[in-house]
Structure 1
Amino acid sequence: MCGISGLFDTQGQRNFNRALVSHINNMQSHRGPDEDGLHLEPGLALGHRRLSVIDLATGQQPLFNEDDSVGIVFNGEIYNFQELVPELKDMGHCFKTRSDTEVIVHAWEAWGPACVQRLRGMFAFALWDRNQQTLFLARDRMGVKPLHYAWLPDGSFIFGSELKVITAHPGFVRCIDPLAVEEYFSLGYVADPRCIYRQAHKLPPAHTLLLRRGMHSQPAPQPYWDVYFSNDNPVNLADAESELRERVKESVRLRLIADVPLGAFLSGGVDSSAVVATMAGLSSLPVHTCAIGFDDPHYNESAFAQQVADLYRTDHRLEIVKSDDFDLIDTLARLYDEPFADSSAIPTYRVCQMARKHVTVALSGDGGDESLGGYRRYSMHLGEESVRSRVPHGLRSPLFGSLGILYPKADWAPRMFRAKTTFQAMAMDTVQAYHHSMSHLRVDQRQRLFSPEFQRSLGGYSSLDVFRQHAGKAQTEDPLALIQYLDYKTWLVGDINTKVDRASMAHSLEVREPLMDHHLVEWLATLPSSLKIHGGQGKYVFKKAFEPLLPRDVLYRPKMGFSVPLASWLRGPLAVRMCESVLSQRMLDSGYFNVETLRALINQHMNRKYDHSTVLWMLIMFDAFLRYAQTPAQAVPTAVTRAAATPV
Structure 2
Amino acid sequence: MWQARLAATFGEGLGAIKHRGPDDTGTRVIGGLPGGRILALGHQRLSVLDLSSAGRQPMLDSRGRVAVYNGEIFNWLEIRQQLQGDGYSFSTRSDTEVLLAAWDRWGTDCVRHFNGFWAFAIFDPSPRDGGPVLALCRDRFGIKPLYLCIDDQITGFGSEIRPLLTACDKPMRVDPDSLMQQMIYEMQPNSPQTLFENVEEVAPATWRICHLSERRWVTMEYWSPRATPLRPRSDSQALEEFSWLLEDAVSMRLRADVEVALTLSGGVDSSAIAAAIRSNRHEAVKAFTSRFRNSPQLDETRWAAAVCRRTGMDHILVDVEEIDLDREERLLSRHIETIYTSFSQLVNWQVIKAIREQSAIKVFLNGQGGDEVFLGYERYYVPHIRSRGLWRPSGWHELIQCARHSGRGFAELLGFLAYFSGKSLRQWRYRRSASALFQPWLLEAPSRIQVDSLPEDKRELTIQETCGPQLQRLLRFDDRISAAFGIEGRPVFLDHRIVEFGISLEGHHKIRNGWTKHIVRRYLDSKGLPEVAWRKAKLGFPAPSAVWANDLLKKRVEAIRNSEFMRSVIRAGADPLELTHRQVMALILLHSVSSELNWQPLAGQPQSPAPA
Give the structure 1 partner of residue 369 of structure 2.
Answer: 367
Give the structure 1 partner of residue 166 of structure 2.
Answer: 168
1:520 to 487, 498, 501: 498
Report the CA distance shift for 1:220/1:483 in structure 2 as closer, same or farther (over 3 A). farther
Q: In the aligned structure 2, how far is the partner of 1:419 from the partner of 1:85?
A: 54
**Deviation at residue 440 of structure 1 after TM alignment:** 11
1:269-308 map, 5 Å: 269-295=267-293, 296-308=295-307
Q: What secondary structure sits across from 2:195 in the alignment?
A: coil
2:24 to 26, 35, 41: 35
State whether residues 459 and 505 of structure 2, in contact with CA within 8 Å, keep that contact through their aligned partners in structure 1.
Answer: no
Report the CA distance shift for 1:214/1:459 in structure 2 as closer, same or farther (over 3 A). farther
AA of the residue aligned to 1:60: R
1:118 to 106, 113, 116: 113
Give the structure 2 partner of residue 507 of structure 1.
Answer: 485
Q: What secondary structure sits across from 1:310 in the alignment?
A: helix
- Alignment partner of 1:554 is 2:532: yes
Cα displacement string for residues 482-517 of structure 1 (whole angstroms, at most 9, x for unaligned residues): 333222233554322112111111111111111110
- Alignment partner of 1:595 is 2:569: no
2:182 to 184, 193, 218: 184
Report the CA distance shift for 1:283/1:536 in structure 2 as closer, same or farther (over 3 A). same
Cα displacement string for residues 160-198 of structure 1 (whole angstroms, at most 9, x for unaligned residues): 111122232363132211221122113435234222112
In the superposition, the TM-score normalised over structure 2's length comes to: 0.86
State whether residues 334 and 597 of structure 2, in contact with CA within 8 Å, keep that contact through their aligned partners in structure 1.
Answer: no
- Which one is further off, 500-509 or 478-487? 478-487
AA of the residue aligned to 2:449: S
2:380 to 366, 378, 381: 378
Give the structure 2 partner of residue 462 of structure 1.
Answer: 449
Report the CA distance shift for 1:334/1:442 in structure 2 as closer, same or farther (over 3 A). same
Q: In the aligned structure 2, how far is the partner of 1:537 from the partner of 1:486?
A: 21
- Alignment partner of 1:240 is 2:235: no
Q: In the aligned structure 1, how far is the partner of 2:428 from the partner of 2:557?
A: 20
**Deviation at residue 301 of structure 1 after TM alignment:** 0.7
AA of the residue aligned to 1:78: I
Cα displacement string for residues 279-298 of structure 1 (whole angstroms, at most 9, x for unaligned residues): 12213532222222112111
State whether residues 368 and 374 of structure 1, in contact with CA within 8 Å, keep that contact through their aligned partners in structure 2.
Answer: yes
Q: In the aligned structure 1, how far is the partner of 2:242 from the partner of 2:376?
A: 16
**Deviation at residue 256 of structure 1 after TM alignment:** 1.2
Give the structure 2 partner of residue 74 of structure 1.
Answer: 69
Report the CA distance shift for 1:538/1:211 in structure 2 as closer, same or farther (over 3 A). same
Give the structure 2 partner of residue 227 of structure 1.
Answer: 225
Give the structure 1 partner of residue 330 of structure 2.
Answer: 330
Q: What secondary structure sits across from 2:19 in the alignment?
A: helix
AA of the residue aligned to 2:448: Y
Give the structure 1 partner of residue 404 of structure 2.
Answer: none
Q: In the aligned structure 1, how far is the partner of 2:446 from the partner of 2:344?
A: 33
Give the structure 2 partner of residue 83 of structure 1.
Answer: 78
**Deviation at residue 49 of structure 1 after TM alignment:** 0.4
**Deviation at residue 424 of structure 1 after TM alignment:** 5.5
- Alignment partner of 1:65 is 2:52: no
State whether residues 139 and 145 of structure 1, in contact with CA within 8 Å, keep that contact through their aligned partners in structure 2.
Answer: yes
Q: In the aligned structure 2, how far is the partner of 1:622 from the partner of 1:424?
A: 26
State whether residues 458 and 506 of structure 2, in contact with CA within 8 Å, keep that contact through their aligned partners in structure 1.
Answer: no
Give the structure 2 partner of residue 211 of structure 1.
Answer: 210
Q: In the aligned structure 1, how far is the partner of 2:391 from the partner of 2:210?
A: 47
Q: In the aligned structure 1, how far is the partner of 2:5 from the partner of 2:89?
A: 31
Give the structure 1 partner of residue 11 of structure 2.
Answer: 22
State whether residues 124 and 146 of structure 1, in contact with CA within 8 Å, keep that contact through their aligned partners in structure 2.
Answer: yes
- Which one is further off, 222-231 or 510-519? 222-231
State whether residues 565 and 599 of structure 2, in contact with CA within 8 Å, keep that contact through their aligned partners in structure 1.
Answer: no
State whether residues 454 and 593 of structure 1, in contact with CA within 8 Å, keep that contact through their aligned partners in structure 2.
Answer: no
- Alignment partner of 1:200 is 2:199: yes
Give the structure 2 partner of residue 405 of structure 1.
Answer: none
1:625 to 586, 593, 609: 593
Q: What secondary structure sits across from 2:112 in the alignment?
A: helix
Aligned residues: 568
Give the structure 1 partner of residue 607 of structure 2.
Answer: none
Cα displacement string for residues 530-561 of structure 1 (whole angstroms, at most 9, x for unaligned residues): 11001121011211122121422211221122
**Deviation at residue 214 of structure 1 after TM alignment:** 3.4
AA of the residue aligned to 1:239: Q
AA of the residue aligned to 2:76: F
Give the structure 1 partner of residue 136 of structure 2.
Answer: 137
State whether residues 183 and 463 of structure 1, in contact with CA within 8 Å, keep that contact through their aligned partners in structure 2.
Answer: no
State whether residues 280 and 287 of structure 1, in contact with CA within 8 Å, keep that contact through their aligned partners in structure 2.
Answer: no
Report the CA distance shift for 1:16/1:585 in structure 2 as closer, same or farther (over 3 A). closer
In the superposition, the TM-score normalised over structure 1's length comes to: 0.81
Cα displacement string for residues 537-596 of structure 1 (whole angstroms, at most 9, x for unaligned residues): 10112111221214222112211221212223334x233135335534334432x33234
1:570 to 515, 538, 549: 549
Give the structure 2 partner of residue 155 of structure 1.
Answer: 153
AA of the residue aligned to 2:381: S
Q: How much identity, in percent, do the aligned residues show?
A: 26
State whether residues 231 and 528 of structure 1, in contact with CA within 8 Å, keep that contact through their aligned partners in structure 2.
Answer: no
Alignment RMSD: 2.8
**Deviation at residue 96 of structure 1 after TM alignment:** 2.3
- Alignment partner of 1:44 is 2:31: no
State whether residues 156 and 168 of structure 2, in contact with CA within 8 Å, keep that contact through their aligned partners in structure 1.
Answer: no
Q: Identify which of structures 1 and 2 has the higher relative contact order when contacts are C-alpha pairs closer than 8 Å and 6+ apart.
A: 1
- Alignment partner of 1:442 is 2:430: yes
Report the CA distance shift for 1:110/1:631 in structure 2 as closer, same or farther (over 3 A). same
State whether residues 69 and 118 of structure 2, in contact with CA within 8 Å, keep that contact through their aligned partners in structure 1.
Answer: yes
**Deviation at residue 522 of structure 1 after TM alignment:** 0.5
**Deviation at residue 82 of structure 1 after TM alignment:** 1.0
Cα displacement string for residues 613-642 of structure 1 (whole angstroms, at most 9, x for unaligned residues): 23321221111222123279xxxxxxxxxx
- Alignment partner of 1:614 is 2:582: yes
State whether residues 293 and 302 of structure 1, in contact with CA within 8 Å, keep that contact through their aligned partners in structure 2.
Answer: yes
Q: In the aligned structure 1, how far is the partner of 2:5 from the partner of 2:62?
A: 25
Give the structure 2 partner of residue 451 of structure 1.
Answer: 439
5+ residue gaps, structure 2, are: 32-37, 393-407, 601-612
AA of the residue aligned to 1:443: R
Q: What secondary structure sits across from 2:225 in the alignment?
A: coil
- Which one is further off, 314-323 or 477-486? 477-486
Report the CA distance shift for 1:282/1:492 in structure 2 as closer, same or farther (over 3 A). farther
Q: In the aligned structure 2, how far is the partner of 1:350 from the partner of 1:166?
A: 27
5+ residue gaps, structure 1, are: 1-11, 391-412, 472-476, 606-611, 633-648
State whether residues 183 and 189 of structure 1, in contact with CA within 8 Å, keep that contact through their aligned partners in structure 2.
Answer: yes
AA of the residue aligned to 2:112: Q
Report the CA distance shift for 1:376/1:342 in structure 2 as closer, same or farther (over 3 A). same
Report the CA distance shift for 1:267/1:423 in structure 2 as closer, same or farther (over 3 A). closer
**Deviation at residue 114 of structure 1 after TM alignment:** 1.8
AA of the residue aligned to 2:369: G
AA of the residue aligned to 2:274: V
Q: In the aligned structure 2, how far is the partner of 1:175 from the partner of 1:487?
A: 30
**Deviation at residue 25 of structure 1 after TM alignment:** 0.8
Cα displacement string for residues 63-108 of structure 1 (whole angstroms, at most 9, x for unaligned residues): 01113x1110000110111111132233333322111111111111
Q: In the aligned structure 2, how far is the partner of 1:385 from the partner of 1:478?
A: 6
**Deviation at residue 602 of structure 1 after TM alignment:** 3.4
